[in-house]
Chains A and B, each alone.
Chain A
Amino acid sequence: MALTDEVRARIQETIDANRVVLYMKGNKMFPRCGFSASLVGALDELGVPYETVDVLSDPEIRQGIKDFTEWPTIPQLYVDQEFVGGSDIVRQMVSTGELHQLLGVPFEEVAPPTVHLTEAMVEAFRTAAAEQEGNIRIEISTDFRYGVGFTPKSPGDLEVVTSGVTLLFDRASAKRADGMTLDFAPGPQGGIKVDNPNEPASVGNLSVQELKALLDDSAEMTLFDVRTSEERATASIEGAVHYDEAGQAQLAGLPKDALIVFHCHHGGRSMAAAQDALQQGYSQVYNVAGGIDAWSAHVDPSVPRY
């Protein structure tokens, strides 16, 4: 499909009217692809104004921009009517300071982060490294989602050697990684566990098995059930407090660092309540993944499913 004059003119008009334009999937608030999200994160961090075009909402532009640039992938960044690159190139340019220079933003040095690895984590990385080529790269997005993979070293990468393991970070990830600890738990429920002091408080995920362990240990915590009275009459977890007006008053009386757990039927409504508790300043808030339905399925089959 050839690029029509009309589509070419629309693209040209957009890049003429805006100094910095990002053709992406989704928009700034809701990027619909990890590569687009990483470029939004990079541009936000640089603090320059930029325009975005959502190619998903316009099939003509989606194909048109690929033909216009002669570049097969999206996102695509334009600065001063010039194509700068896709996510891979721009990420490297952020690391080396080239993008800062291009946009006239000061480039500050970032020190390699201090990262702690537990023995189990060191062992897991060594085992994986023996089977893979490249270095271990850790990426941390603006909303603190973590990615770990084996990739070649790129210019501007910050390299950290800790307990004999080499880790690579891009600049933005390095800033977010400083002071974090990585632990590794084997098994199907396991994986890499991150303890990162830079991370803003967020709602933690609690599996029904973890909830069972907490209840069995009589841990100091409050379990709130956000479902309706009718649902609670049908099935309930022993010890759960109904999150009605009285329940909300009980929450208000708890210290801000109290361990607070929310559950509902499947985990959706309780997540909303948990987010709300976080907003109120509670720092240790958890949501029971899968809700009481998962509890019946995996922990206590005597609790009816509905």
Chain B
Amino acid sequence: MSLLGNTGTIDRAMETAIREAIPDAQDVDIRANGNHFTVRVVAASFEGRSMIQKHRMVLSAISPFMAGDNAPVHAIDQLVCELPSEEA
């Protein structure tokens, strides 16, 4: 999987990585603003976990995209982790 390419490709690559790490993710929504991203994930496996644990599940999946000075993902502006029952 290439880490280069346009942001549309990065969106999809991030989504794939998140879905691989969290197979029961019902919804993975990634919105780009330049190389800043807003990510929303809805998954039943967040149940019973602290906010940090939930964020860590998502961040560890996408951290390869954030490594180094020229990383395609510069920052995650907002990460929302929701249970299916919390979904707005």
Interface of A toward B, CB cutoff 8 Å: 35, 70-73, 83-86, 88-89, 92, 133-134, 149, 151-154
Q: Is B78 an interface residue (CB 8 A)?
A: yes
- Which chain A residues border B75 with CB–CB below 8 Å? 35, 73
Query: Tally of A-B residue pairs with Cβ under 8 A?
Result: 46
> Chain A nearest CB: distance from B58 CB in Å?
10
Check if A85 sits within 8 Å of B78, measured CB to CB: no
Contact with A along B27-54 (1 / 0, CB 8 A): 0010101000010100000000001100
- Which chain A residues border B21 with CB–CB below 8 Å? none
Check if B51 sits within 8 Å of A73, measured CB to CB: no
**19 A-B residue pairings within 8 Å (CB atoms):** A35-B75, A70-B60, A72-B60, A73-B59, A73-B76, A83-B52, A84-B52, A86-B55, A88-B76, A88-B79, A89-B51, A89-B55, A134-B38, A149-B33, A149-B77, A151-B78, A152-B88, A153-B88, A154-B78
The distance in angstroms between the C-alpha atoms of A71 and B51, with both chains bound, is: 13
Check if A151 sits within 8 Å of B52, measured CB to CB: no
Q: Is B12 an interface residue (CB 8 A)?
A: no
> Chain A nearest CB: distance from B87 CB in Å?
11
- Which chain A residues border B55 with CB–CB below 8 Å? 85-86, 88-89
Check if B63 sits within 8 Å of A72, measured CB to CB: yes
> Chain B nearest CB: distance from A24 CB in Å?
14
Check if A151 sits within 8 Å of B59, measured CB to CB: no
Partner of B52, one of A35, A89, A134, A149: A89
Q: Which size bracket describes the interface of B in this complex?
A: 20 to 34
Check if A152 sits within 8 Å of B78, measured CB to CB: yes
* Contacts A89-B52, A151-B78 known; 5 new A-B pairs at CB < 8 A: A72-B66, A89-B51, A133-B31, A134-B38, A152-B80
> Chain A nearest CB: distance from B67 CB in Å?
7
Contacts A72-B66, A73-B66; A152 near B52 (Cβ below 8 A):
no
> Chain A nearest CB: distance from B1 CB in Å?
17
The distance in angstroms between the C-alpha atoms of A152 and B41, with both chains bound, is: 12
The distance in angstroms between the C-alpha atoms of A84 and B55, with both chains bound, is: 12
User: Residue among A71, A72, A149, A151 with the most chain B CB within 10 A?
Assistant: A72
- Which chain A residues border B78 with CB–CB below 8 Å? 88, 151-152, 154
- Which chain B residues border A154 with CB–CB below 8 Å? 78, 80
Closest 6 pairs (CB-CB, A-B): A72-B63, A72-B66, A152-B80, A151-B78, A72-B59, A88-B79
Partner of B51, one of A72, A85, A149: A85
The distance in angstroms between the C-alpha atoms of A152 and B78, with both chains bound, is: 8
Partner of A72, one of B52, B67, B77: B67
> Chain B nearest CB: distance from A302 CB in Å?
41
- Which chain A residues border B62 with CB–CB below 8 Å? 72
